[in-house]
Amino acid sequence: MSGRVSSRPAAPGRVGRLLAWAGDAPLYEAAPADVRTVSFLGLALPRRATVAVIVVALIMLLDYYGRINPLVDAVLGHGSGNAADMRRLGAIGRLVLLGAVPLLIVIGAFRDGPSRYGIRLGDWRAGVVIAIGGCLAMTPIVLSIAHDAAFAAYYAPIASTPFDTFLSAGLEVIPAEFFFRGFLLYTLLRVVGPVAVVVATLPFAFAHLGKPEIETLSTLGGGFLFGWLDWRTGSVLWSGLAHTWILGLVVVAAAFWAGAPPA
């Protein structure tokens, strides 16, 4: 029997191939403007990343203190006080503050292309597979937890028809995905590296304070996975669509379990 050992590397197993595929993300190389700094009190601060952090913090504080809905109501002038209508107003407000404002900063202040901040299809094949797989996995979980009294009390009053519910969800969370994981995550990613996925998860979790405890705690894991998905695909579209499905489904399911008819 020959004692010769083959120098040929062993073929990777399924787990190895899956891990390699999961880590096959685009290169996020920093442009000179990404790492350009400004000196403040002796601190050399990266300009773009500092602006992104300050803008995210300021808008989150305005939202926390309830400044978005009255502002939109004053501009549009048709708030009825109905919970579903107020939710739509809030969704429109977030579309502007979480979507349009950061986009204008990217284009006007950063003088950069939106595609570098996730507004593109990216690796759409991976995006479709992961988003659909995630939605299928989350659907039975959402249907189960929506039966909880805390979810029924929080979400049932803002339910409308299924179409309107999912539309409001999309208006709210797709801009939020760009806000947290396009504007903030991709800006930080080119300065601090992949830890930006973890950092961007924190304000996303804090934005859920006041919602049912289980949901708020779960955003640490869910936000990380959304961030990984955006890092993996180079796009915020797929996490936005998956997030829309999850939020819309929990509202519809909570209303169903609570016996609330569509508005």
Q: What is residue 29's DSSP assignment?
A: P
Q: Which residue has 């894991």 as its token pair?
A: 221
Q: What mean pLDDT is predicted for residues 217-233?
A: 96
Read off the pLDDT of residues 130-159 as tens digits, 9 standing for 90 and up.
Answer: 999 999 999 999 999 998 999 989 998 888
pTM attached to this predicted model? 0.86
Phi and psi at residue 132, in whole multiples of 5°?
Answer: -65, -45
Q: What mean pLDDT is predicted for residues 53-81?
A: 72
Q: What mean pLDDT is predicted for residues 209-221?
A: 92
Q: What mean pLDDT is reported for the chain?
A: 87
Secondary element (H or E) of residue 40: strand 37-40
Q: What mean pLDDT is predicted for residues 201-206?
A: 95
The model's confidence at residue 94, banded by pLDDT at 50, 70 and 90, is: confident
The model's confidence at residue 103, banded by pLDDT at 50, 70 and 90, is: very high
Q: b/e map of 96-119 (b: 16 or more CB within 10 Å)?
A: ebbbebbbebbeeebebebebbbb
The model's confidence at residue 3, banded by pLDDT at 50, 70 and 90, is: very low
CA-nearest of 59, 57, 54, 47 to 111 is 47
Q: State percent of the chain over pLDDT 90.
A: 64
Taking the C-alpha atoms of residue 127 and residue 133, their distance in angstroms, rounded to an integer, is 10
Q: What is residue 39's DSSP assignment?
A: E
Cα within 13 Å of Cα(98), Cβ side: 28
Whether the pLDDT of residue 217 is over 50: the answer is yes
Domain edges within the chain: 36-258
Q: What mean pLDDT is predicted for residues 50-64?
A: 92
* The pLDDT value given to residue 228: 97
Phi and psi at residue 58, in whole multiples of 5°?
Answer: -65, -45
* The pLDDT value given to residue 18: 87
CB atoms under 10 Å from CB of 58, counted, come to 12
* The pLDDT value given to residue 78: 53
* The pLDDT value given to residue 53: 97
* The pLDDT value given to residue 5: 42
Whether the pLDDT of residue 7 is over 80: the answer is no
First CA to last CA distance, the chain: 79
The model's confidence at residue 85, banded by pLDDT at 50, 70 and 90, is: low
Taking the C-alpha atoms of residue 60 and residue 75, their distance in angstroms, rounded to an integer, is 20
Read off the pLDDT of residues 24-35 as tens digits, 9 standing for 90 and up.
Answer: 899 999 999 999
The pair of three-digit structure tokens given for residue 161, joined into one six-digit string: 């028809």
CB atoms under 10 Å from CB of 189, counted, come to 25
